[in-house]
Structures are given as structure tokens and as C-alpha cells.
Amino acid sequence: MNFGPRDIENNACVIVRRDTNEKINISLNDISKNLQEILEDIQKNMYEECKSIRQKRTNIAHNIEEFEKYINENQGYVKTMWCGNEECENKIKELTGAHSRCIPFEQEKLGNTCVCCGKEARTHGSLGKAILKKG
């Protein structure tokens, strides 16, 4: 928010949204109401954008080759079936650097076999890598 002597004279201020870089002039009389609405809109906008990115960067893998391809190319999540054996999870982490991010309460049946060992799968999970951004 930009606020100075001229703003006091004009009974207004300028707000710049960080999510859209839009500049908004607001009357100081209505600042509390307007700020609440703008902050709620920013939260909604950022949530929808993150949700969209997550959906675009989520793939389904049925074997370890697909898993490796998706985890290395998409920098997102890979949904897959898993036998539940910790050794398979450790092997996936060793091969790709990915580890479990979520085992949903509501399970999807994405296949019948574990992505790693090929045995009967019991659980659907999402795996991913931590991405460190510089700057």
C-alpha cells in the first residue's frame, strides 16, 4: 500500500495486489471493508492458481519407467499404486529422489500392481520431489 501526505489530502490510497500487480485506488473511509474484500479475493485467486498448477503437474504412472519420466520431466506429483512395502518406497526414493507426499483417505484404483515391484498393490499414493527455488 502506498500512503503519503497527498493521499491524506485526497482521502485515498493506492493498493497494489501482489497476485495480479493491479493498482487499486481506495477511499480511506472504506478502507477496512475494501481491504477485507481484496484480501479474500487474493486468497481465492492464489488458491485456484495453485490448484490448477497442481492438476497440470500431476501424472499417473503404472510402472517405474513412467514414474521416472514423469517425476523428472514434470516437476510435480506422480499418482501411482503401491504394495505398501517400505522397501519399494525406499527404492523409488533412491532411484528418483521422490517420496510419499499424500496417501488419500479416498483411494483411487489406478491399477492392480505396485509401480516398483509389480506385486499386488494395496494403496494409491502421490509422490513428489521437494523443489528448492533460488532467489
Q: What is the pLDDT of residues 46-72, one digit of tens each?
A: 999 999 998 999 999 999 999 999 998
Measured in residues, the chain has a length of 135
- Residues 6 or more apart whose CB falls under 8 angstroms from that of 5 comprise none
pLDDT at 51: 93
Q: In whole angstroms, what is the distance from residue 135 CA to residue 85 CA?
A: 38
Per-residue model confidence as pLDDT tens for the chain (135 residues): 667 888 888 899 888 998 999 999 999 999 889 999 999 999 999 999 999 998 999 999 999 999 999 998 887 899 999 998 889 999 999 999 898 888 889 888 899 999 999 999 988 889 888 765 554
pLDDT number for residue 115: 94
Q: What is the DSSP letter of 30?
A: G
Q: Which amino acid is at 6?
A: R
CB neighbour list of residue 22: distance below 8 Å, 6 or more residues apart? 16
